[in-house]
């Protein structure tokens, strides 16, 4: 299977538009292919339209400008900009094994210090390291047109005309923030679906609860009838997992065949947690007020989300992720779409996923004297990355109904 990483620049507008549309609830949960990039008010009163935008009526009376600034969510995933270079490489140091003792006779070699023998101090033991590459980048472009006089007939005075264009500027800013959030959601959904596809670091809390207590409850039962017991179990499990991530370990991340073990540890201040917040709001109301407070869990950075991919199916994720082929070391698209009905959250190392801006700039064209307008263009180049060799734990709520281990 060919690598899903692409060296060239990928035009990401279709993906970002799809994610943004799902995010704002304009479309329902849609199976989305992220693998190539991871990396009712009446619309218009029938009184006539000005002829430029065909959306604004001639002056009727008071005008209300409906606009307010929006700030992107999931800022946790944004990294420091990287202006130069096209391929990001990451040097990972592999596990070094201890060797036989040379300065004593031992039970494994009782005569190595015998007369006539010698100990070679020049045996070569090279440091073991592995290079991971994150090639390519994604691009976005947008622009809008500013007219000099054509819209003047739609407003009663200069102040209204200026306020309209101020609103246009705010709306453009809001769309930039929404696209920024959509980029982060694409990376986040890719990582979660990717781990499920690879079967690494996935915690089905419903199955774990049933196994621990010898029950066979469904997800619905645990979220309602047995909510208090279940949420206490969830809280304890996540806190224990958070503590375990601070240990040097080869678990909770991918290993690549042919290399020595990749060992990682994630201190508390490097841990990040993103959780489906409505579930915990309901839990707080049913159980106790300190449930899942970041201070209680002592995790470095906590962020809640109201939905993962679509506002219309807030608990679910459906995408075809880019995954790591642990046999070849290549990045491949998952063989099929991954659908997860209920994602509770992800606990991860800050280096496990992110969005890295490379550059952003705004450019204005010269005034078009014949047409009476000018255009403002926005350009973005960024890198979306997922590193499966870094620690991450995905928490899902399966259907339940059995006490399977």
CB atoms within 10 A of CB 244: 15
Question: What local confidence, expressed as pLDDT, does residue 97 receive?
Answer: 65
Those residues with Cβ within 8 angstroms of residue 92's Cβ, 6 or more apart along the chain or in another chain = 129, 130, 131, 132, 262, 389
Question: What local confidence, expressed as pLDDT, does residue 197 receive?
Answer: 93
Question: What local confidence, expressed as pLDDT, does residue 58 receive?
Answer: 45
Hey, what's the torsion of the CAs at 151, 156, 161, 166, to 10 degrees?
A: -130
Those residues with Cβ within 8 angstroms of residue 65's Cβ, 6 or more apart along the chain or in another chain = 163, 164, 166, 167
Question: What local confidence, expressed as pLDDT, does residue 357 receive?
Answer: 79
Question: What local confidence, expressed as pLDDT, does residue 285 receive?
Answer: 74
Question: What local confidence, expressed as pLDDT, does residue 45 receive?
Answer: 36
Those residues with Cβ within 8 angstroms of residue 115's Cβ, 6 or more apart along the chain or in another chain = none
CB 296 within 8 A of CB 381: no
Tens-digit pLDDT profile for the chain (405 aa)?
Answer: 555 555 455 556 576 677 666 665 666 666 666 665 555 222 333 444 445 455 455 444 445 545 566 666 777 777 766 544 545 666 666 666 666 777 777 777 878 778 888 877 777 766 666 666 666 667 777 888 888 877 776 667 777 777 777 887 888 888 888 888 888 888 899 999 999 999 999 999 999 999 999 999 999 999 988 988 898 899 889 999 999 999 988 899 988 888 888 889 999 989 999 999 898 888 877 766 555 555 555 565 788 899 998 888 999 999 888 888 888 887 777 778 999 999 999 999 988 988 887 778 889 999 999 888 889 888 888 778 888 889 999 999 999 875 443
Whole-model pTM over 0.85: no
Tokens of 132: 């991971």
By CB neighbour count within 10 A (0-12 exposed, 13-18 middle, 19+ buried), where does 262 fall? Answer: buried
Question: What local confidence, expressed as pLDDT, does residue 35 receive?
Answer: 60
Question: What local confidence, expressed as pLDDT, does residue 258 receive?
Answer: 83
Closest CA to 324 of 258, 389, 374: 389
């Amino acid at each position: 299977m060919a690598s899903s990483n692409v060296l060239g620049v990928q035009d990401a507008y279709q993906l970002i538009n799809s994610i943004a549309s799902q995010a704002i609830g304009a479309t329902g949960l849609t199976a989305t292919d992220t693998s190539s990039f991871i990396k009712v008010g009446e619309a218009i009163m029938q009184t006539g339209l000005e002829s430029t935008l065909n959306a604004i009526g001639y002056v009727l009376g008071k005008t209300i400008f409906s606009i307010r600034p929006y700030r992107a969510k999931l800022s946790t995933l944004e990294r420091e900009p990287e202006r130069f270079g096209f391929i990001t490489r990451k040097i990972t140091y592999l596990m070094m094994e201890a060797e036989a003792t040379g300065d004593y006779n031992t039970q494994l070699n009782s005569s190595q210090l015998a007369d006539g023998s010698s100990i070679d101090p020049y045996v070569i033991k090279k440091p073991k390291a592995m290079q991971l590459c994150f090639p390519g980048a994604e691009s976005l472009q947008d622009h809008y047109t500013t007219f000099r006089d054509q819209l003047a007939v739609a407003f009663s005075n200069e102040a209204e005309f200026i306020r309209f264009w101020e609103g246009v500027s705010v709306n453009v800013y809001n769309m930039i923030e929404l696209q920024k959030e959509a980029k982060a959601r694409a990376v986040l959904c890719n990582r979660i679906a990717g781990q499920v596809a690879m079967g690494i670091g996935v915690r089905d809390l419903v199955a774990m609860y049933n196994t621990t207590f010898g029950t066979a409850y469904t997800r619905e039962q645990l979220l309602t009838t047995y909510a208090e017991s279940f949420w206490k179990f969830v809280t304890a499990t996540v806190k224990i997992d958070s503590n375990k991530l601070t240990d040097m370990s080869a678990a909770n991340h991918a290993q690549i065949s042919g290399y020595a073990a990749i060992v990682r540890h994630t201190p508390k201040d490097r841990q990040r947690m993103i959780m489906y917040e409505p579930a915990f709001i309901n839990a707080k109301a049913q159980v106790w007020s300190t449930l899942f407070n970041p201070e209680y869990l002592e995790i470095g950075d906590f962020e809640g989300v109201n939905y993962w991919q679509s506002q219309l199916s807030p608990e679910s994720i459906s995408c075809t992720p880019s995954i790591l082929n642990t046999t070849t070391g290549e990045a491949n698209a998952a063989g099929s779409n991954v659908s997860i009905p209920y994602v509770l959250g992800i606990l991860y190392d800050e280096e496990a996923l992110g969005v890295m801006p490379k550059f952003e700039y705004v450019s204005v064209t010269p005034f078009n004297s014949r047409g009476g307008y000018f255009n403002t263009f926005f350009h973005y180049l960024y890198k979306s990355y997922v590193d499966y060799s870094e620690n991450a734990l995905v928490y899902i709520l399966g259907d339940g109904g059995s006490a399977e281990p």
